[in-house]
Amino acid sequence: MKHGNKLVLLSVVAFAGGVLAGCNDTSKNSKGDGSDEKVDSVEVSAVQKVINEAQEMDEADLYKKAVDEINGKSFTVVANSSRMKDAFPAWVDYINKNYKTKLGLTSDFQAGFSTTQPKNNQIFNTIKGDVTGANHSISMTLIQDGSQISTKMIKTGYLLNYIPKEWKASGASEAADGHPLALQSLSKVFAYNSIGTAEGAFNNVFDFTMKDDGTPFSTQFMSPASEPVGANMLYMLTNPTYTKVVKEAYDNATDTQKKIIDAIIEEDNKTTFNCFGDKPKTVVAAYGASGIKAQIENAGLNADPNAKYALAWEFLFLKNYQVVTDDGPICTNLTQKSAAGAGGLLVYSKFRSITESDTVTLKDMRVAAYDNGYSGFGGYMYKHYLQVLSTSPYPWTSCAIIQFMTCHAEGFKPWGKDMGGYSANPQVQAKFDHSRDGYNEDGTTIDYPIKNDKGYDWWTKNEAGKGRLVLEDGAYCSSVATAMSDWISYLR
């Protein structure tokens, strides 16, 4: 199905009231080339018309449209998750088990499926190329990074939002998870290999930047340049909600840590600590000038007295973290018995498949925020969003798959089967409880403490003794990205 670019781009104006809050100006229409033009009349694209109809349909009627559209054909998705490959076949099975007779099918419903998972932030270019190209093969996307989705995908009209009727009725928060529609929230957590570590060795988020004596600690982490949701965490840390949390961590840091943090904030090159090796060095000589005072001005953070502590944590973290290309290798590295005392910030679910061996241990892995007395934030949380391409060849099927993934446990199972991922639909999430995954088979002892997921509510609660994850807000990230990105690049 092909549509002129003008119709595609105009369609987003009609939909602007329902996209990411604070990101769109409904009086303008982005042409995707950096300019905006006034729009006096709105013409809705064919794909948007399908979405408008689908949002009012019950499941059976929607599935009938989708089966008629895709039966015997092939559906293409571009995704930030490899698990997308399991969702489409699950929908086909669901249709054949529950709707074959109702839909009047005389034989099994069959449809092909393909998905690609672009690396290094290339998913946005892939979508843009498909929408603006002469031929359109991609129908929908599972995509992350709320900031770039807003600026690169929604404002340009490349992606359109669909909210299933059943999802709205589920008790899900449309304000928090509907614009754009979120499949799930995922947690990235601070974790460490506890072999040979003293109790409380990682009881403060500053411990993942330096040790008690002030010497640097290299937390394993994916570069924000290769996975921008990591940059979004750094953007969000400038929000007063989280600068306060970092200030509490500072208050509970060791005296030596506080002195280094203070010196970094003040850029006091007369303050001498044993930052590297045996010979005393000044903080600025060891780490370089932080530029925190200038960055507070540049980012407009003057009114927040706690902003300097958040920027100091970012400075130390960016200077000291160890770059690893992906969360899978980080998990592999941390669980080696030879990695005693190593720490990382990675997707929680990566620990799901580690098997004990002579060289590998999961029993000694710990989630830092689960330890009593931990101070600061326990990691961060981002989302996977489901969107329909504005040139989708199969828009009815796109809506049906999104409905299935967000409204049925079978549709969310590829992600919900492991700890660390939480459906935005509370009725679906209720089917997935991982609070006892770390127990042995008879449920009497805990073999793998790291697997006992305390759940979405615990992780998102912003109070002492809870997970206090830094929650991604695409609109906020977009508002500070320009001011923060240059400084982050300057540091690392």
Q: How do residues 249-293 score in pLDDT, each as one tens digit?
A: 999 999 999 999 999 999 877 888 878 777 788 888 888 889 999
In this prediction, residue 374 has a pLDDT band, given cuts at 50, 70 and 90, of very high
Instruction: Give the pLDDT confidence score for residue 43 in this predicted structure.
Output: 65
Instruction: Give the pLDDT confidence score for residue 36 in this predicted structure.
Output: 37
Residue 478 has pLDDT above 80, yes or no: yes
Residue 29 has pLDDT above 90, yes or no: no
Instruction: Give the pLDDT confidence score for residue 334 in this predicted structure.
Output: 98
What structural domains and CATH numbers belong to the chain? 5-180+383-429 (3.40.190.10), 187-378+467-491 (3.40.190.10)
Q: How do residues 418-452 score in pLDDT, each as one tens digit?
A: 999 999 999 999 999 999 999 998 889 999 999 99
What secondary structure, in 3-state letters, does 111-175 show?
CEEEEECCCCCCHHHHHHHHHHCCCCCCCEEEEECHHHHHHHHHCCCCEECCCCHHHHCCCCCHH
Residue 485 has pLDDT above 50, yes or no: yes
In this prediction, residue 34 has a pLDDT band, given cuts at 50, 70 and 90, of very low
Q: Which residues of 103-127 are buried (b: 16+ CB within 10 A; e: fewer)?
A: beeeeebebebebebeeeeebbeeb
Q: How do residues 389-418 score in pLDDT, each as one tens digit?
A: 999 999 999 999 999 999 999 999 999 999
Q: How do residues 41-77 score in pLDDT, each as one tens digit?
A: 346 799 999 999 999 999 999 999 999 999 999 999 9
Q: How do residues 115-129 score in pLDDT, each as one tens digit?
A: 999 988 899 999 999
- Distance, CA of 394 to CA of 139 (rounded, Å): 6
User: DSSP for 15-73?
Assistant: HGGGSSTTS--TTEEE-SSS-EEE-SS----HHHHHHHHHTT--HHHHHHHHHHHHTTS
Whole-number mean pLDDT of the chain?
A: 90
Mean pLDDT (whole number) for 289-314 = 96
Mean pLDDT (whole number) for 187-202 = 93
Q: How do residues 200-251 score in pLDDT, each as one tens digit?
A: 789 999 999 999 989 999 999 999 988 899 999 999 999 999 999 999 999 9
What percentage of the chain exceeds 70 in pLDDT?
A: 91
Instruction: Give the pLDDT confidence score for residue 44 in this predicted structure.
Output: 79
Residue 96 has pLDDT above 50, yes or no: yes
- Distance, CA of 199 to CA of 222 (rounded, Å): 27
Contact 86, 94 (CB under 8 A): no
In this prediction, residue 39 has a pLDDT band, given cuts at 50, 70 and 90, of very low
Cα atoms in the 13 Å half-sphere on the side-chain side of 366: 22
What percentage of the chain exceeds 90 in pLDDT?
A: 81
Instruction: Give the pLDDT confidence score for residue 272 in this predicted structure.
Output: 86
Which of these, 309, 311, 271, 313, lies nearest to 291 by C-alpha position? 311
Distances (CA, A) of 141 to 153, 299, 395, 491: 11, 33, 12, 33
- Distance, CA of 175 to CA of 172 (rounded, Å): 9
Mean pLDDT (whole number) for 459-486 = 95
Which of these, 157, 150, 161, 159, lies nearest to 36 by C-alpha position? 157
Which of these, 186, 93, 45, lies nearest to 401 by C-alpha position? 93
What is the four-CA torsion angle of 284, 378, 193, 187, rounded to 10 degrees?
Answer: -120
Instruction: Give the pLDDT confidence score for residue 225 in this predicted structure.
Output: 85
- 3-state class (DSSP) for residue 322: strand
